Amino acid sequence: QLQLQESGPGLVKPSETLSLTCTVSGDSISGSRYYWGWIRQPPGKGLEWIGSLYYTGITYYTPSLKSRVTISVDTSKNQFSLKLSSVTAADTAVYFCLGVVVINMLGQWGQGTQVTVSS
């Protein structure tokens, strides 16, 4: 069964870069079986899609964050990563990674990781 686990610093200073990693187990991150995505949830608010990595290698980002976001994959470690630059307090949220089966859109979520932006 596919499992995902987020990791990274829980505290980031304003103007710095937030870096998170999602480690995938139970299946290979390579190949054409899955889409991979990052979603965040600010305190007391709903889910916000950040961006996705398709098996073609193409990435898609939400327009409001596109200038600051990079999603990449490390197949040797079975991981994919999120980098969000120039963070502010508005980027404080729980960050989730998500793996979605391409043929039927069945999704498996990571447990989430809290990231606070503060000096």
Partner 1 sequence: FMLTQPHSVSESPGKTVTISCTGSSGSIATNYVQWYQQRPGSAPTTVIYQNSLRPSGVPDRFSGSIDSSSNSASLTISGLKTDDEADYYCQSHDSSKWVFGGGTKLTV
Give the interface with partner 1 as residue ranges (CB under 8 A): 37, 39, 46-49, 52, 54, 58, 60, 62, 96, 104-112
Task: Show Cβ contacts of residue 102 under 8 Å, excluding neighbours closer than 6 positions.
Answer: 32, 33, 34, 35, 55
Q: Are 97 and 111 in contact (CB under 8 A)?
A: no
C-beta of 15 vs 60, nearer to partner 1: 60
C-beta of 76 vs 100, nearer to partner 1: 100
| CB 18 to partner 1: min, Å | 19
| CB 7 to partner 1: min, Å | 14
Distance of CA 104 to the CA centre of its chain: 21
How far is the C-alpha of 6 from the C-alpha of 40, rounded, in Å?
12
| CB 105 to partner 1: min, Å | 5
